[in-house]
Amino acid sequence: MEKKNFQIDKENSVRVDVFLSEKLEYTRSRVKKLCDDGCVFVNGKQVKANKVLKDGDIIETTLPEVKNLDLEPENIPLDIVYQDEDLAVINKPQGLTVHAGSGTNGSTLVNALLYHLDNLSGINGVIRPGIVHRIDKNTSGLLVVAKNDVSHLALAKQLEDKTCHRVYLALLEGVVKQDKGRIDTFINRSNKDRTKMAVTDFGRQAITDYKVIKRYKEHTLCEFSLKTGRTHQIRVHAKHIGHPVVGDKEYGYKNQKFKLEGQLLHAYKLEFVHPTTGETVSFTAPLPDYFEKVIKSLK
């Protein structure tokens, strides 16, 4: 464990997560996790991330030791849509886990990135180098990877400020009646299964906009735009409106009509401001072949 202490010597007030994200060069979400895990104290008392600091306050932090998993570069084929000195945009295939975690120690996107790219940001530690945001193992599509810490912080801030636009395509079970709408709920861990998320009466606010692209006899192709970035957000919200994503055995039907390896959910568009040039950049990725095959069968 590493301990780091700070003293506030400014007259203006500032939140714990804002202060520590700058001092520790962490993302605010990572600082929040430290607070939630009881690793941050102000004047000897455990605090939440939104605690407002005052002049003279003493902040004590205990930074958990990151286990070195000895991540090795692996020659896993990658569809690199774009890259420069600051970042890379990857079209992740279905079935590839983004980074190591519980039950996963190798053959991840991170292992592939270590092989294909020269540099990756170190803000998220040795387990998640370069990873600014994630998409589920069995969801395909675009995500941006940071090659240095300056770019990482800038991209993470856009995600927090909701100025990074992520658009998905999904094939849903059943026929969605409304042409478009907004799903605004709280999402938290499911009381029935802690490995899953669920719409609850409390938790973190989750907002998803949707628009019908095409209706079929028993299915609907929809576009989803994330306004927040909660775990499994689109899949949980699709279930919430009574139209789970096709192929999703966790949040949808156990008995699936099509033989699929995962859900028909694809992050097809990603738009953000480049951290160095200041220009708005936009990328798209076509639907995977297995997704297109199902769509054609519905016609």
Q: Where are the beta strands (DSSP E) in 138-278?
A: 140-146, 165-173, 180-189, 197-200, 204-215, 219-226, 265-273
Q: Cα–Cα distances in Å, from 101 out to 20, 72, 78?
A: 25, 15, 20
The set of residues, in sequence order, having a beta carbon less than 8 Å from that of 254 and lying 6+ positions away, is: none
Q: Is 136 a catalytic residue?
A: yes
Place of tokens 């993302």: 27
Identify the active-site residue in 17, 86, 136, 248. Answer: 136
Residue spans of alpha helices (H) in the chain? 16-23, 28-36, 109-116, 149-161, 233-240, 289-298
Report residue 176 as tokens: 């969605």
Q: So which residues are the catalytic ones? A: 136
